[in-house]
Amino acid sequence: MALTSRPRGTNDIIPGEIELWLELEEKIRSVCKAYGYQELRTPLFEHTELFQRGIGDATDIVEKEMYTFMDRGERSITLRPEGTAPLVRAYIENNLGSGALPVKLFYYGPMFRYERPQAGRYRQFTQFGCEALGSADPLLDVETIALPLALYESCGLSGFEVEINSIGCPTCRAAYREKLIEFFTPHRDDLCKSCQGRLERNPMRLLDCKVESCHVVMRDAPEITEYLCTDCSEHFEGVLTYLDAFKIPYTLNSRLVRGFDYYTRTVFEVVSSELGSQNAIGAGGRYDGLIEEVGGKPTPAVGYAVGVERLLLALKGQNKLQLSPTGPNCYVAHFGGATKLKAAQIVQALRARGLWMELDYGDRSMKAQMKAANRLNSQFVLVIGEDEMANNRAVVRNMENGQEEPVSLEDMEQLTKIVGAWAK
């Protein structure tokens, strides 16, 4: 393994790209503010049991995708594979549910899953998630969908589609579970190894399997929507009513079950026409049992997670990622010695006023410095020579239109005004 290659499935975000991330993060914060969601930051690792209990033992993530290790104190630790279970843990531990409900929170940061890397699927990836805890109102399910859609739209993304389903509550699922076992058992030999293993433990997971032979079997499987209890049916109808009221187009997908055991009732996924096989740019659902499962009071909740890398890929596919080129406000060129000292003082003074200032760190020729200013895309250049030093006066040159303006080397306010006014 070369020391110069990063671990498989990870990415560096380098200058030139990071600006897009920062812009997106700003949009996330702005849309969360409008919907009243506050940021919560949790550790990058948690006790393994939180995910085993929270996400469910018989899920792909817990069975084979977690980065789990023993720490030096012999505790089993896992790098977080998702953000909801940690958020719920933090909600309970910090007693965040003691005030007015619902509590609306968002998180943003890296998640870790040992998956087979490919375009749009990584071992370290970034999720933005919004979660509303403390209300079973179907309006919140729809708000949790509307928020990321507002984000996609504010980025200029088009061509995405909402798929939605209800997977009921433990009551209606018990009957459905039996029906599924009854249906799949005669086909056991046609199922993949994982599905065979899960048939009795967690038959709903089979609906989520991506293996072709399982897909064929699944075609005639019973649909959960026929088994929903009255409460779950009414809730789902409420969700669809609000989706219509918000004019959010959706497709009903009775096979959508999602990869976590904690979901109840509503589940949804947003897919982009821009991406290949990894086309989900976000997904979520209601998890009315999770807070109690983790040790809190019974509390209904609903949430959504956006895959940030995939959103950026989809935006790239639609050429929605053009940023205007940036550069320093001013490059201060000098002739070394005392002129360099003066240049450094000016740079220091204007940086303190918030401007992006650059200068030559070696003692390169004036020609080389001009080349550097151009390469950096500097908006202004100020040249400090012996004469300028002696008179305390110089000219600042606008690199866009070639105009020059005389300035005093003692009047930092004047310089700030001139080179700051052009900030792109």
305 in contact with ligand AMP (CB under 6 A)? yes
The residue (of 54 and 307) whose beta carbon lies closer to ligand AMP is 307
281 touches ligand AMP (CB under 6 A): yes
Are 67 and 114 in contact by the 8 Å Cβ rule? The answer is yes
CB of 41 to ligand AMP, least distance (A): 18
**CA of residue 273 relative to chain centroid, distance:** 19
Within its chain, how far is the Cα of 149 from the centroid? 13
Which residue is at the shortest CB distance from ligand AMP? 307
Residue count at the site for ligand AMP (CB under 6 A)? Answer: 17
Q: Which of 146, 283, 313, 409 binds ligand AMP (CB under 6 A)?
A: 283
Q: How far is the CB of 311 from ligand AMP (least distance, A)?
A: 7
Of 295, 369, 320, 389, residue with least CA distance to 153: 320
Q: Candidates 46-54, 92-100, 305-313, 328-336 — which segment interacts with ligand AMP by CB under 6 A? A: 305-313
Distance CA 314, CA 311 (A): 5
Here's the x/- map for ligand AMP, 106-135, by CB under 6 A: it reads as -------x-x----xxx--x-x--------
DSSP 225: G
Looking at the Cβ atoms of 29 and 121, the one nearer to ligand AMP is 121
| Binding of ligand AMP by 151 (CB under 6 A) | no
360 interacts with ligand AMP by CB under 6 A: no
> Of 416, 418, 423, 374, which Cα lies nearest the Cα of 399?
374
User: Within a 13 Å sphere around the CA of 189, how many CA atoms are in the beta-carbon half?
Assistant: 1
The tokens describing 25, both together, are: 């993060």
Cα atoms found within 13 Å of the Cα of residue 378, Cβ hemisphere only = 25
**Does residue 380 belong to the site contacting ligand AMP (CB under 6 A)?**
no
Query: How far is CA 177 from each of CA 93, 136, 141, 223, 364, rounded to the nearest angstrom?
Result: 33, 24, 24, 11, 75
Per-residue mark of binding to ligand AMP, 68-97 (x: CB under 6 A): --------------x---------------
Of 143, 309, 358, 360, the one binding ligand AMP by CB under 6 A: 309
C-alpha to C-alpha distances, 86 to 102, 123, 355, 383, nearest whole angstrom: 18, 18, 40, 55
Distance of alpha carbon 249 from alpha carbon 238, whole angstroms: 15
Among 140-148, 227-235, 238-246, 302-310, the segment contacting ligand AMP (CB under 6 A) = 302-310
For the CB of residue 26, give the shortest distance to ligand AMP in the complex, in Å: 20
Establish whether the linkage from the previous residue to 86 is cis, with ω within 30° of 0: no
Nearer to ligand AMP, 210 or 367 (CB): 210
* List 54, 102, 203, 282, residue binding ligand AMP (CB under 6 A): 282
Q: Residue 36: which residues within 8 A CB-CB, separation 6 or more?
A: 104
Q: First vs last Cα of the chain: how many Å apart?
A: 43
Q: Calculate Rg over the CA atoms of the chain.
A: 28
Site string for ligand AMP, 233-272 (x = CB under 6 A): --------------------------x-------------
| In the complex, minimum distance from the CB of residue 232 to ligand AMP, in angstroms, rounded to a whole number | 21
Where do contacts with ligand AMP occur on this chain (CB under 6 A)?
Answer: 82, 113, 115, 120-122, 125, 127, 259, 280-283, 305, 307, 309-310
